[in-house]
Chain A
Amino acid sequence: MVRKVKPIWEALGKLDRRWVYLFVSLSILFPLLFPLNLPLTVTKHVKAVYDRIENLPDTSAVLIAFDFDPSSIPECLPMAISLCHHVMKSGKVLIVYTNFPETGPIAERVLEPLAAKFQREYGKHYVNLGFKPGNDVLLMALGSSWTTSFPKDFRGNSTQEMEIFSRFPSYRHLSFMVDVAHGATVDFYITIGLAQFGVPLAAGVTAVSIPQYEAFVQTGQLVGLLGGLKGAAEYEKLVGTKGKATRGMDAQSVAHLVIIFFIFLGNVSVVRNIILKNISAMRIKK
């Protein structure tokens, strides 16, 4: 019996997606186990954020908003860690809060070791305010006073007696703000925090949101933009650390190449089918 062999292009067009899953998985596993140490270049948007924080006076206060939930930890947490590392290392005052209930404890776990490393005093050099609902309404209230909206911080301490809030009583007294966000919280920092209160703003967003917020960098509403795992890796390079973001870059590069390869194969199959269909249609016409 002669076995009919399916033409390769037909097979490629109907490739079982589980083969793609397998190859992508392998393309991530191998670089994680055997690092390639591919070079990493820092883009101007990330450098702009770094330079802005670096050039702030020592008496400045910087707000880092941990506006992401556990589903975005892989991309957003390395950014937040690097930013907090930079602010603490450069001696500025750091205020942290979040619009997501799950992220208060995560912020605490980030800040404690950094504070110990750089000998920063809680309540004087940094504070974690934790979670408060309200999003844009909360931000409008923060324009008047931190302590009104956050009478207690994440640890349960009264904010009234903290030195930070006697020096920087409201959002308007901040010198800079970075929103590490997985969703649309950046929107109201632009419309309220920047437009109404005049506090310069940068954003660290997941890769999905990069095209959306590039437009705001172009108009100057955002000082800079950290995008996805690569943005986090770039910032880690700038502050001189090697965290999970840097470790994931090799895997990301190889996986991208594998995906481009499959997209190419799939499109070759589709274009070939279109050409064959047109040729047979022309033959029928004749």
Chain B
Amino acid sequence: MKSLSLSLFIIGVIFCTFQISFGNSISTKVQIDSLKIAVNNQQSLPSKVHLSKPEIQPLFKTERLNVFIFLIIISALVLTFLFLAKRNHSLTLRKIAGLDAIDEAVGRAAEMGRPVLFVPGSMDVDRIQTLAGIAILSKVGYECATYEVDLDVMTRFPLLMSTSQEILRQSYLTAGRPDLFSPDRVQYITDNQFAFAAAITGHMVRVKTAAHFFIGEFYAESLVISEAGNTTGAIQIAGTANSHQLPFFLASCDYTLIGEELFAASAYLSREPILLGTILGQDWSKALFGLLIVLGTLAAWFGWTDFIHWFQTE
């Protein structure tokens, strides 16, 4: 599965970067099929048929060279640190404040005899933040299995529900308590954003969960669920990279993972060389971007516009 994913990813990167397309013939074929559907549904044929002329796209868009170079540099840095992390197990990340709170939260739930609630974001499993949330779910699941605390997971998409079930099954197995795992405690609620928020709010208030984890990609529902959770007195830990939702989590949660700390947390907890190497590669990419900004600032000050124009993307 990993190699299939990786190969599709690489193909996608190359195609999308240079907009290599075989769309011309497909475009015409699809238009003809649309007419066939109209005929099949016994609709009258249009009096005029405009088959739009397929636009000829160049094989390579050279104005995208800067994007390609950036991707090569970032990929090279990430792959380098991936390689180093696999070979050198002493590579670590700095301690992230808020991760100790996971043990504290689960411990408190165990003392109170109340369940833990985990919401891995309000987007689907194809989003990067959701994947990071699921990695932390794995850790929380392990802790809950160890302390024999019930864990409720509420999701907004069926695919995420099944992925979460898989992850938790594995966590409970690793903790040596597969008997405690119940797939029914991982629920798919609804696709609708605010219906999902209403369901979470209702669950928190009625079940009186002792600890809440809101980790993943959130939007407007973040304020609703974190504020409602705050009124129940539960300990709340949140994490999202959506900067516009962070203020609400910061105001109503006990601990918040800000932005990229979410991704670093999943690497820190799992200690997997792949995740560690990725974070370290990104860190040095950020250092490079900072250097570019400093250089660009100097260029803007002294009027070296060519340097700045190289970063033009449109």
Q: A interface vs B, CB < 8 Å?
A: 17, 69, 71, 144-148, 151, 158, 160-161, 165-166, 169-170, 172, 182-184, 194-196, 198, 206, 208-209, 211-212
B298 to chain A, nearest CB (A): 19
- In the bound complex, what is the Cα–Cα distance between A17 and B227 (angstroms)? 12
14 A-B pairs (CB sep. < 8 Å): A144-B55, A145-B31, A148-B27, A148-B31, A151-B34, A160-B31, A160-B34, A160-B46, A165-B50, A166-B48, A170-B55, A182-B220, A184-B219, A209-B244
Docked complex Cα distance between A15 and B41 (Å): 65
A148 near B30 with CB under 8 A, answer: yes
* B194 within 8 Å of A (CB atoms): yes
A164 to B20, CA, bound (A): 29
Chain A min CB distance to B61 (Å): 9
Within 8 Å by CB of A160, from B30, B35, B194, lies B35
Does B19 reach chain A (CB closer than 8 Å)?
yes
Q: Does B40 have its Cβ within 8 Å of any Cβ on chain A?
A: no
With beta carbons under 8 angstroms apart, the residue of B34, B54, B219 that contacts A147 is: B34
Cα–Cα distance between A169 and B50 once the two chains are bound (Å): 9
Is B193 interfacial (CB 8 A cutoff)? Answer: yes
7 A-B pairs with the lowest CB-CB distances in the bound complex, closest first: A151-B34, A161-B46, A169-B52, A145-B52, A161-B48, A160-B46, A158-B46
- Residues of B participating in the A interface, judged by any CB pair closer than 8 Å: 19, 23, 27, 30-31, 34-35, 37-38, 43, 46-50, 52-55, 193-194, 219-220, 231, 243-244, 313-314
Question: Is B35 in contact with A212, judged by CB distance below 8 angstroms?
Answer: no
Determine the chain B residues whose CB is within 8 A of the CB of A172 once the complex forms.
55
CB-defined contacts of B219 to chain A, threshold 8 Å: 183-184
* C-alpha gap A145/B29 in the complex (Å): 12
CA distance A166 to B53 in the complex (A): 10
B53's nearest neighbour on chain A, judged by CB, is A169
Q: Cβ of B43: which chain A residues have Cβ within 8 Å of it? A: 158
- Contact check, B220 vs A208: say whether CB atoms are below 8 A apart: yes
A160 lies within 8 A of B27 (CB): no
Instruction: Find chain B residues with CB under 8 A from A195 CB.
Output: 313-314
Min CB gap A231→B, angstroms: 16
Contact between chains at B49 and A208 (CB < 8 Å): no
Q: Which residues from A are CB-within-8-Å of B55?
A: 144, 170, 172
Evaluate whether A147 and B31 lie within 8 angstroms (CB atoms) in the complex, with A158-B43, A212-B244 already known.
Answer: yes
Q: How far is the CB of B142 from chain A (nearest CB, A)?
A: 32
Tell me the complex Cα distance, A238–B204, Å. 46
A158-B38, A160-B48 given as contacts; is B314 within 8 A of A145 (CB)?
A: no
A211 touching B19, Cβ below 8 Å = no
Contact status of A144 and B27, CB under 8 A, knowing A161-B49, A194-B314, A211-B244: yes
From B34, B54, B314, contact of A144 by CB (8 A): B54
Contacts of A158 in B (CB 8 A): 38, 43, 46
* Distance of B29 from chain A, by nearest CB (Å): 10
Shortest Cβ distance from residue A99 to the other chain B in the assembled complex, whole angstroms = 14
Q: Which residues of B contact A17 (CB under 8 A)?
A: 231
CA–CA, A146 and B37, complex, Å: 17
Task: Tell me the bound Cα distance from A196 to B63 in angstroms.
Answer: 11
Contact, CB under 8 Å: A151 / B194: no
Among A147, A195, A209, chain B packs the most CB atoms within 10 A around the CB of: A147
Closest chain A residue to B123, Cβ basis: A184
When the two chains form their complex, are residues A151 and B50 in contact, meaning their CB atoms are under 8 A apart? Answer: no
With A and B bound together, what is the CA distance between A212 and B243 in angstroms?
8
Partner of A161, one of B23, B31, B50: B50
Chain A residues with CB below 8 A from B34, complex form: 147-148, 151, 160
Complex alpha-carbon distance, A161 and B44, angstroms: 12
Q: A144-B27, A148-B31 are in contact. Are A198 and B314 (CB under 8 A)?
A: yes
In contact, A160 and B50 (Cβ under 8 angstroms)? yes
